Amino acid sequence: MGDLYFLMKNYDSALIENEKVREEYPDEKRLKLKISVCNFNRGVNFVKSRKYREAKAEFGKIDEDDPIYTKAKKKIRKINKILKDVESMGS
């Protein structure tokens, strides 16, 4: 079911379904990657909505041993710069 939600770009529901399956198969690497990709895509959606703190939290859920970790870290650096710029504009 998680794959169907993912194809429909419903990453919230895909994540929920994949997390349910993960309870039964905690060491499944393919499932772990699916969850990471859902977190990454949720983060991207938050950035598009200018919800930078939420985006940063989603990107931060991706583990160092994950293939998309480097991309997530780049996104976090960009978000930190945006947040710093916003703060300096408000001062």
Q: pTM to 2 decimals?
A: 0.91
> 47-60, pLDDT tens digit by residue?
999 999 999 999 99
Q: Which amino acid is at 44?
A: V
Q: What is the pLDDT of residues 11-32, one digit of tens each?
A: 999 999 999 999 999 999 999 9
One-letter identity of residue 82: I
Rg (C-alpha) for the chain, rounded Å, is: 14
